Amino acid sequence: MKVKKYLWPWLVASELVLGGCRDRFFDNPFDPGAGEAVFEVVRTIPSPARDPRGLAWDGATLWNVDGATNELLSLNPLSGALVRSFPSPAEDARGAAYDGRDLWVCGRGTVFIHRLNLLNGEVLKSLNLQRGVFTALAWDGSALWAADAQSNDILRLDPETGEVTGSFPNPGTRADGLAHDGLDFWLADSSTLTIYRLGPDGSVLSLFLSPGQAPRGLAFDGTHLWNADGSGNIYQLSMPR
């Protein structure tokens, strides 16, 4: 049967759209933006958090901030099963980071950033930053980094005094997740469904589409990047360079 000439443009366009969707590595329903790449999802695990936010890796488990209960949840990275939990001392907790010994947490409802005992949640230190709205944390091996929604800057903090010793601007409009891989920063922006790879000075090196519909917390485990999504999934992602 012959296809009428006026149907060819429609068929070609349909094949381009539908054919491209067959090979997508992610479940984000939005069309990719120009210049953006996609991650390969290595593993997907469910989070027991009702409102998954910040994420941290302690060398054995993932710590996911639950915004609904204001708790910190330690999760099995293979299954997402809850290992243990304790309440966050930060109001409206958002970000978490691990410094090699202790866990740090920040929240939108406080100017304090707290360092916690990893085993029982005891507050070991509280940094008073005086001002700011903090949504994400990262540890670079020697300094703590905090995303400040008030200034839309990423601040470098002295972990002993809380003094701001450097900063760079957030390339997006939100900072829902922040991680450091030993060389570069990774920043999640849920407003644009984008995960940025940033150089040490904050320069944008790469743009990636988030694997889910609401990218939030980020963590680096030494090999892979992890992303907690508002949908309830946590994605283990390859690290393209």
User: Which pLDDT belongs to residue 37?
Assistant: 84
pLDDT digits (tens, 9 = 90+) for 26-65: 444 344 444 578 889 999 999 999 999 999 999 999 999 9
Q: What fold is seen in the domain 5-237? A: Neuraminidase (2.120.10)
Query: Which residue has tokens 């988030």?
Result: 210
pLDDT at 82 over 60: yes
User: Which pLDDT belongs to residue 77?
Assistant: 98
Nearest alpha-carbon partner for 180 in 26, 35, 55, 44: 55
CA separation for the pair 190, 45 (Å, rounded): 19
- Banded model confidence at residue 240, pLDDT cuts 50, 70, 90: confident
Neighbours of 104 (CB within 10 A): 26
pLDDT digits (tens, 9 = 90+) for 114-149: 999 999 999 999 999 999 999 999 999 999 999 999
CA separation for the pair 95, 217 (Å, rounded): 7
Q: Where are the domains of the chain?
A: 5-237
Cα separations (Å) of 195 from 84, 92, 220, 228? 29, 23, 13, 12
On average, the pLDDT of the chain sits at 88
CB distance 47 to 80 below 8 Å: yes
